[in-house]
Each structure stands twice: as C-alpha cells, then as structure tokens.
Structure 1
Amino acid sequence: MGSDAKKKVTVSLLDYGAGNVRSVRNAITSCGYEIVDITHPSQIDDASVIIFPGVGSYHSAMDVLKREGYDDALRGYLAADRPYLGICLGMQTLFESSEETNEAGHVGDPLPGLGVIPGRVVKFDETKRSVPHIGWNGVVRLQDSPAMRYVSGASGESSGGGGEVYFVHSYYAPITSENEKWVLTRTTYEGQEYVSSVQRGNVCATQFHPEKSGAAGLNFIRGFLESVEDGTLSNTKPIPNNPDEHTQLVKRVVVALDVRSNDSGDLVVTKGDQYDVREKDEDAKTGRGGVRNLGKPVQLASRYYEEGADEIAFLNITSFRQGVIEDMPMLQVLEEASKCIFVPLTVGGGIRSYTDPESGKVYSALEVASRYFRAGADKVSIGSDAVYAAEEYYKNGKKQGGSSSIEAISQVYGVQAMVISIDPKRVYVNSPDDVDNKLHAVVELDESQKGPNGEKFCWYQCTVKGGRESRDICAVAVARAAEALGAGEIMLNCIDMDGQCKGFDHALMTAVSGAVTIPVIASSGAGRAGHFADVFRETSVQAALAAGMFHRKEVEISEVKRDMESNGIRARI
C-alpha cells in the first residue's frame, strides 16, 4: 500500500452493555475497519462515524442512554447530520416513542425515544401472525443509497425475491406520511408493511441485523462505511414505489450441534439415538464406548455457515462438569464461532441459577445468560428450567411471579433472545376421556403413529434433565406458560422421533404451534431432505432443525433447500 493511500475511517461503537455486540464488532473488523468504544458522552462529538447496535429491550436501551448521558449527545450528533448507523433498537430509538412494555412488564404510556424520526414504534398484531418476527425476509427499496452499493440486485431493485436479511423483533415502525421521506426500505410480514431501514442524509439505520445476514449484511456494512469515507453517503434519491411488490418470510433451516466433553476433556460435536452418544464398541479398560466424535464445534459450524445454514444452535448436552460461569470452553466456542459465522447463533444447556461450589457465590440465570450473550450468542435456550417455571405458573393461577429465568432474561434482552427447548415423549391413551388433568392436552394420531396397542390418542409428557426425568405436564401447557412468561421462540423436540430418521412428529408440531403465537422450530426425526418440506407444508412451524443427517453428510443443506423450493416453499438460497 502506498504512503498516500487513504486511511480507513475508525468506527465509534456505542455498546451500552446488552445483547450480543461481539458479532457487530466482528462484522466491522471483517470489513477491514478498526473500532473505538464510546465510554463517555464526550466521545460522541469527536466520532467520525457511530454504529449503535441496540440489542435487547427498548426500555433497557433508553434507560442506559439517559442514565449515562448519551441521549442528549446523540440528539446533537444526529441533528448535525453526521454519519450514523443504528441496528434494530438503534433504529427504533430514533423514533419519538415506543409501545414496548416498561421494565415492570406492564403496558403504560409510550416510552419516549430520541425523537429524530416522527412516529411511534408499535407491536405486531399477535392475532394475525406469529410474534416475534424471526427469520430471513426481503426488502423493497424506496431510495437508491450508496450504502447499498454492494447489496445484491441492481440499483433500485428490491431484494424481495432473493438476498434476504435477518430480522428478529416484536415491534415495528409503521410507514406514515410524516416519516415516509425517511424510509430506505420496507418489508412485508404476513400482510403488514413496515419500515425495515431508514436513511436521511448521513443518518442510516436498519430494523434487520446486517451482522447476522451473511454476505448480504456484510456487504451492507461495507457499503455504508465506504460511503462515509468517500463522502457519498447522503447522495440518495427516491425510487418509485410499487404498492403491489411485497416480501415474504422464508422458512429456516437450522443446524444443531450437540456439544460435550469427551473422555479426554476435549469438546466434540456428538450425536446419538435418544441421548445415547457413546459408540457401541466398548473399551477394554473402561467397559464402555467412547463419546461419538463427529467433529470440532467451530470447524463444523463454519462449514454449515458456508453451506447455507440459516441458523446454528450449540447445545451443551451435558453442561460439562463445571458450572456455566467457569465453562470457558463453551464460551470460547462462541467467541471463535462469531468471528467467522454471520448468521444467528443459539446456545443452550445449563443456563440456570448456579452456586459456585468453592466460593459459594450465587449466579442468577440472567448473569449466566449475559456471559453467553457477550461471548457471541444471539439467543439462549433453556429446557428443564422452563418446565419448572411452567409448573409454578399454573400453581400460581397463571400468574407471572417475576422470578423465573424466562422473565429475567427476556425483560433485559427482549423476548426474541429467549428460546424454550421442550423435550416431550408420547403417553398413549385410548380416548381423550382417559385424561382428566387440565395440563394434559390430548392429540389424535394418524394411522402411522398409533400406539403399540392401537391407541389413537396421546399426550406429550415433558421431560427434564436431558430426558431422564418425566414431569406431569404436557408440551402444550409448557409452551403456553413459556409464552406468557416471556419466551420468544420454541425449539420443539420429540424423544420418540429422535434418531429415527422417519420425519418430524407432525401431530406434536401442529398441537404446539396452534396453541401459541410465538414461532416454533421443529426438531427430532429428520432423515432426508423431503422431511423439511413435509413439516413446512403440513404444519405452521417457521423453522426446522436437523443434526445427524448433516453431520454424517447423508444430506446437504443445499439439497434440503432445493427440495423446499421445488415444493413451493420459499427458502434462502
């Protein structure tokens, strides 16, 4: 590089301390830019460009901005039309107010924002669609912006038919006559049009997460920063709006990696039938088979990212031998994975209150989850704790107690960051009348799923502790309670189908997805590409997950998506 080469702009990052900001950092550095953290309001005025990755809940973000004195400094910076990129809440806080609940969880007066853009942020109607809006959707451009110079499609074209980006939010900004000049792109979610990005002058913001949108998102960040450097960012021009053009949320293909320590203490990705992850051949010394090793977590996850996985879930299936706070190997897995994987990462296993055996110090589930978020997780998944919380919820007359890990985590990081993993098994009955417990929802089975004695009905009994202990509550009841407590998504497994490669349990998926308004991820049972199209066609789940068939290279992700498209089911290609 010559001595007269132009020095790249330094990005000032406003990290207010919530959610997964590591991925934003990694996305910026992967585009070749250095970062300086804003730790005091006085630094805002000195910044060349500010990126505000607002991850979490609206009230938490605004509380921190006000408490630390950033709000007035930001208003001055934005009023001067200086380069700014807000992400998700970093966009929503630009509006006058939000209807998002206050910290106590009660709807009150609209929470004020920075007031740069006219209008109020409101919640999606849960009676008409699943909420949160989670997944990959397109955008329709209403402005031609230099920030989108590298985004797929020629100038002025939408990406509604390809080049989807990743969304995860329950609240949205409606398009109004007062804010329409701000709208850079719009997106459709189940009939609702809303603002998916804004730009006016040098102020830009997105509702989607570019740092989690793969190559399309990295290209957006790169285009934005290069436009800041060459001084062209504000050179936008309107594009005629075609009201008949809409976007569509695609169905997600999720890959799960069951991670645990092997007998040598190394982390490996493993898989087995119904939680048996050891090889059948026994070792002469130990009398048992070794832990099945299908690869190293980060390397395998990176492969799936390159092959087109829409999300990746790391499931810590043993919680290892130490508590989560000391569980440095799993934290390191997340930190390393987030450097090279730019799609959503979920981590599950052992996220609960924990007492350090040496110091006696008690860590809350929120503190444990916070460590994972800071290490690179976008969502955390809890299993057994969710079942216990549901039991308590019904015991208290369907009232929120405020003490569950679901409530604690979702109130700080937002419901979109809280995934509930349910592990049920069938209990067969001859008739719905055979069950009188209100927490046992009976499901009718088709001919292929009848019980061993010809039973036509069953209820799905929840288990805890990795499937080793059964509880007297069904999957439908737990799902409803989890939603009421603040869960944003359900990962729905089925012990009966796990490892069978016969397809997902459609009866279970239909029962649970029909009982809640939050998205459901189908899990357990996939053995061929067509199983994904089957569950998407016959149930209302928004995503489907597989592990073993991908690990063993029996089926490629691209094969699954091609099969989905051939069956009229939109996939992110």
Structure 2
Amino acid sequence: MEAPPFSIAVSSSSSSSRTVFRSLSSSAHTSSLFFLRNNHYKTRHLKVKSSGKFAVRASLSGDSVVTLLDYGAGNVRSVRNAIRYLGFDIKDVQTPEDILNAKRLIFPGVGAFAPAMDVLNSKGMAEALCSYIENDRPFLGICLGLQLLFESSEENGPVKGLGLIPGVVGRFDSSNGFRVPHIGWNALEISEDSEILDEISNRHVYFVHSYRAMPSDKNKEWISSTCSYGDRFIASVRRGNVHAVQFHPEKSGEVGLSVLRRFLLPKSTVTKKPNEGKASRLAKRVIACLDVRTNDQGDLVVTKGDQYDVREQTEENEVRNLGKPVELAGQYYKDGADEVSFLNITGFRDFPLGDLPMLQVLRYTSENVFVPLTVGGGIRDFKDANGRHYSSLEVASEYFRSGADKISIGSDAVYAAEEYLRTGVKTGKTSLEQISKVYGNQAVVVSIDPRRVYLKSPDDVEFKVIRVTNPGPNGEEYAWYQCTVSTIFSLT
C-alpha cells in the first residue's frame, strides 16, 4: 500500500493588516472552506441528527451510570458528551475503590504513556484497574486506554504498563514512507466477534496516534481487529467483558456512537461469524475550516477574508458574518464533514484563557458534533494584566478541557522552526515541545498562512521551488512559498 498524501488545511483570510513573510518552504497553497484530500470526498455515513435518537435515558436505576476514569490529561469532554448523548449518567473515579465498585468502566486514555502511568501508580489506581479487568468486569479502554494494558511502551521510555496483555507498544515505522502520527479515518479488519464492533463492518473509524501494539502469537487470543498503516497493528482487543480500541469512537460519528452504545447496552451473547476482513486504507478527508472572530457588536461569528480583509465593502463596514460557529459546525457535521477546525483569527491580540466565548463554542459544539475538533489562534506564552505568566501548555490545556482534540499553532511554530534551523538545538521550551510532551505530537497541528513568491529560475534561491501552471505577473514559471507571521498591530 502506498503512503497516503498528507493534507494541510490553509485559511485564505488573515486577521492582520500587516504581515511579516518568512522563508520557510511549504507545499502548495489550498484555500477553501472545505479542504478535500486528493480533491475527493468519500462518505462514511457520518450524519447524526440531534433528534435524540439515542438520547433516551437508559433507566432510572444505577444501570444508567457509567464510571469514567479521567486522570486529567487531554480532552475527555467528547467522551462525556457521547455518553450523555446516549442517555447515561457519569460517575468520575476519585479513589481506587470507585474503580472496584464500578458496574461498567470507561477509560478514555489521552496524552502520553509515561505521565498516564505515573498518575495511575501515584493514586493507587493501577492495581485497582488490573484487579477490575482480571475479574472480567465490563471495561472499555480508548486509545491510550488500550496501550496501557500492554507490558510496556517505548514512548517516553521504556515505560512499564499494566502488563495485562503481552507485548510492547512501539512507534510507527516511518522508514517505509508512512508519516507519523497515523491521523485519519481508516478501516478495520475484524478477526473475531467482538459484539461492540458489530455495526462497523467495512466502515471507517477515526485514528490519531504515533504508537501502536503489534499482533503476536502471545497476544493473538486478545485481538478482535487489526488495521493497516504501513504495518498491521492491533486496532481492538476483547476478552470476555473487557474491550479496548485504538481508535476514537467518540470522534467516529454515527459508527463510533454505535460502538459506545453496544458496550453500554450489550446484547445477549450469540455466536456470530466475524465480518470478512478487507484491506484497510485511509479514507479521503473533508475538513470544515471556520475562521472565527468577534464582530463590532461583540458576537462571535464565522467570517472569511478577501485578501485579508474580513469587512464588508459597505457604508457600515461591518465584519462579514457567515453564521454562528456552533450552528455551522453542527450543520457541516450532519452534511458529512469528518473534522471541524476553528481558527480564532483575533486570538493573537487577546488573552486566550479570558476568551470565554471561544471556549464556550468548543464546549457547545462538542455536545453534538462527534468528529475531531481543532482550534487555533493565540496559543503561545502569555502574561496577563496582573503580570502572571501563563505557558502555552496551560493555554492549550484549557482548550483541550473545553472540547478541542487538537490545537493549531501558527506564528509560534514558525519562530520555533527558525530558531531550530539557526541553532540546531531543541530547547524543550517551545510551545510545540511543551504541548506534545504532555499530550503527544498527534495533538499538535502546525498551520501556516503562505504567500506565493514567483521566480524566473529555480537557481534564484537555495531551497525547493515548484514549477507553476499559471505564470507569474512577469511570466515567471517557478515559485516558492513564504510563511506569514502576525506582528503586534492594531486590528481593524
């Protein structure tokens, strides 16, 4: 299988009236509300109407309660919203006893392996979790919640895991041309009746991870499905009432909700022939990219710029208003978008932790939109009016807690790249390094706003250029792309 192309969604509007151009090379500029990988769209039946189809209270008894193990890293709001959407209440784990007393337990592991194990061990929850699973109690691990079941991981390590499943979690091999992390919608090869996977068949689910567990003779009794991305890796495991998946059901639209629903409302056990395996591959992508800012009335609106100008060419000169962010995000999700990206184009000028409207957009959107949410704008180190310093990690953490799955870094990433190219040293202090260390590099997106610069000859510069289809203003046949970064100025 050939390596899939890497897609970047690039906004055509900018909040700035002045920009600084940086000579970092990039791929071709694609400006569109929808970015289509390979210019195709492949539907995966992701439409989920907010009609409350599944939002029926499971019961008025304790059977409607789901115990959630949230150790405080990353976005578990989406899992919470999906559970509530399906009609269940949530009890958070506070003590090891809460794990042992759970009727059904969901562990939405997010972040990196070592910090997660540190929290589980320091709070005495690792031993309780092992006991719960070894006693065949109803359990669903998600993403890192699957990886922690294995003996150890190479991430931040080697680091010892819970040791319930034989095997070592290793990083994807990028030497075969496949980019790491594995991000996107991929199909499963279901090898065993898993019950919770009954409605998946050959439909796609959402993955985002840099590390994976590999099938072996020692763990084959656990494996219920695999997936292919360069190598064949474990996509889900099942033994009795214990389930775990590498993909994110809470971000996989309708098919993902069916996985959660089947775990929460299991049917009677039946013998069923497994779905026949099918060669899996990444699906084409449709990403809705929404530029968001406040208008003159203080309302948060979706807008779009015309050569960086987001104001209407009228006497009122108002900010161009294309709709409300939450409503538009919900509509794009229903129409089949498999990711929604918010770019707060005025985020650079305000203190992001004080931007309650933007945080509320994430919270409300994640209640009914069950695909990945990305947010960018102003994610960098800040100092507030009282002189208190906030790191980019603290800023990103609040976005994650509010419902974001990935954060997008723009100008700060360009500065970090320039510094690294100049010194060749990774300081560990950049926003890219700080955030990826805690949440994993799959949680950090670099977004660039490029400007095409035409050249008569590729020899005019030292870096890579492309041959253009349409010549430049003076007949130039080549071009390269400058990254633009915001500077301090007064925004109109």
TM-score range, shorter chain: 0.7 to 0.9
CA distance in 2, matches of 1:186, 1:117: 15
| Alignment partner, residue 409 of structure 2 | 382
Listed as ranges, the gaps of 5+ residues in structure 1 are: 103-109, 153-157, 284-288, 469-573
In the TM superposition, residue 240 of structure 1 has moved relative to its aligned partner by 6.4
Which amino acid counterpart does residue 193 of structure 1 have in structure 2?
Answer: R
Alignment of 1:66 with 2:121, yes or no, is: yes
Within 5 A, what are the aligned runs for 1:271-420? 271-283=304-316, 289-319=317-347, 322-357=350-385, 359-396=386-423, 398-420=424-446
In the TM superposition, residue 64 of structure 1 has moved relative to its aligned partner by 1.2
**Residue 122 of structure 1, aligned match among 170, 173, 181:** 170
Instruction: Tell me the alpha carbon deviations over residues 442-481 of structure 1, each in whole angstroms, 9 at most, x when there is no partner.
Output: 3132342x2211222222111101899xxxxxxxxxxxxx
In the TM superposition, residue 237 of structure 1 has moved relative to its aligned partner by 5.3
| Alignment partner, residue 301 of structure 2 | 268
In the TM superposition, residue 8 of structure 1 has moved relative to its aligned partner by 2.9
Alignment of 1:140 with 2:189, yes or no, is: yes
CA distance in 1, matches of 2:439, 2:274: 37
Higher RCO (Cα < 8 Å, 6 or more apart): 2
| Alignment partner, residue 421 of structure 1 | 447
Which amino acid counterpart does residue 190 of structure 2 have in structure 1?
Answer: R
For the 8 Å contact 1:345–1:377, the answer to whether it is kept is yes
Listed as ranges, the gaps of 5+ residues in structure 2 are: 1-55
What percentage of aligned pairs have identical amino acids? 56
Within 5 A, what are the aligned runs for 1:120-199? 120-128=168-176, 129-149=178-198, 151-152=199-200, 158-159=201-202, 163-190=203-230, 192-199=231-238
In the TM superposition, residue 125 of structure 1 has moved relative to its aligned partner by 0.9
In the TM superposition, residue 435 of structure 1 has moved relative to its aligned partner by 2.2
For the 8 Å contact 1:143–1:236, the answer to whether it is kept is no
Q: Secondary structure at the match of 1:304?
A: helix
In the TM superposition, residue 236 of structure 1 has moved relative to its aligned partner by 6.9
Calculate the aligned-residue CA RMSD, in Å. 2.2
Q: Secondary structure at the match of 2:145?
A: helix
For the 8 Å contact 1:313–1:346, the answer to whether it is kept is yes
CA 1:320–1:262: 2 relative to 1, 3 Å: farther
For the 8 Å contact 2:350–2:378, the answer to whether it is kept is no
| Alignment partner, residue 204 of structure 1 | 243
CA distance in 2, matches of 1:239, 1:130: 34
Structure 1 stretch displaced more, 410-419 or 119-128? 119-128
CA distance in 1, matches of 2:438, 2:466: 39
In the TM superposition, residue 187 of structure 1 has moved relative to its aligned partner by 1.1
Within 5 A, what are the aligned runs for 1:240-255? 245-255=278-288
Alignment of 1:216 with 2:255, yes or no, is: yes
Q: Secondary structure at the match of 1:250?
A: coil
Which amino acid counterpart does residue 460 of structure 1 have in structure 2?
Answer: Y
CA distance in 2, matches of 1:240, 1:316: 46
CA distance in 1, matches of 2:194, 2:479: 56
In the TM superposition, residue 324 of structure 1 has moved relative to its aligned partner by 0.4
CA distance in 1, matches of 2:224, 2:255: 16
Alignment of 1:33 with 2:88, yes or no, is: yes
For the 8 Å contact 1:141–1:239, the answer to whether it is kept is no
CA distance in 2, matches of 1:217, 1:459: 41
CA distance in 1, matches of 2:212, 2:272: 22
CA 1:49–1:115: 2 relative to 1, 3 Å: same
Which amino acid counterpart does residue 185 of structure 1 have in structure 2?
Answer: S
For the 8 Å contact 2:348–2:377, the answer to whether it is kept is no
Q: Secondary structure at the match of 1:256?
A: strand
CA distance in 2, matches of 1:237, 1:68: 40
> How many pairs are equivalent?
433
CA distance in 2, matches of 1:115, 1:460: 49
In the TM superposition, residue 5 of structure 1 has moved relative to its aligned partner by 7.8
CA distance in 1, matches of 2:108, 2:364: 20
Which amino acid counterpart does residue 78 of structure 1 have in structure 2?
Answer: I
In the TM superposition, residue 173 of structure 1 has moved relative to its aligned partner by 1.1
For the 8 Å contact 2:292–2:302, the answer to whether it is kept is yes
For the 8 Å contact 1:143–1:237, the answer to whether it is kept is no
**TM-score with structure 1 length normalisation?**
0.73
CA distance in 1, matches of 2:151, 2:113: 12
| Alignment partner, residue 7 of structure 2 | none
CA distance in 1, matches of 2:276, 2:360: 47
In the TM superposition, residue 370 of structure 1 has moved relative to its aligned partner by 0.2
Q: Secondary structure at the match of 2:367?
A: helix
For the 8 Å contact 2:191–2:276, the answer to whether it is kept is no
Within 5 A, what are the aligned runs for 1:448-459? 448=470, 450-459=471-480
Q: Secondary structure at the match of 1:340?
A: coil
**TM-score with structure 2 length normalisation?**
0.84
Alignment of 1:443 with 2:476, yes or no, is: no
CA distance in 2, matches of 1:295, 1:334: 16
CA 1:115–1:179: 2 relative to 1, 3 Å: same
CA distance in 1, matches of 2:273, 2:223: 11
In the TM superposition, residue 6 of structure 1 has moved relative to its aligned partner by 6.5
**Residue 111 of structure 1, aligned match among 159, 172, 175:** 159
In the TM superposition, residue 251 of structure 1 has moved relative to its aligned partner by 1.7
In the TM superposition, residue 134 of structure 1 has moved relative to its aligned partner by 0.5
Alignment of 1:460 with 2:488, yes or no, is: no
CA distance in 1, matches of 2:137, 2:239: 11
CA 1:466–1:254: 2 relative to 1, 3 Å: farther
CA 1:260–1:341: 2 relative to 1, 3 Å: same
Which amino acid counterpart does residue 79 of structure 2 have in structure 1?
Answer: V
Instruction: Tell me the alpha carbon deviations over residues 279-309 of structure 1, each in whole angstroms, 9 at most, x when there is no partner.
Output: 01122xxxxx100000000000000000000
Which amino acid counterpart does residue 436 of structure 2 have in structure 1?
Answer: S
CA distance in 2, matches of 1:147, 1:236: 12
CA distance in 2, matches of 1:9, 1:64: 28
For the 8 Å contact 1:275–1:466, the answer to whether it is kept is no
CA distance in 2, matches of 1:143, 1:31: 26
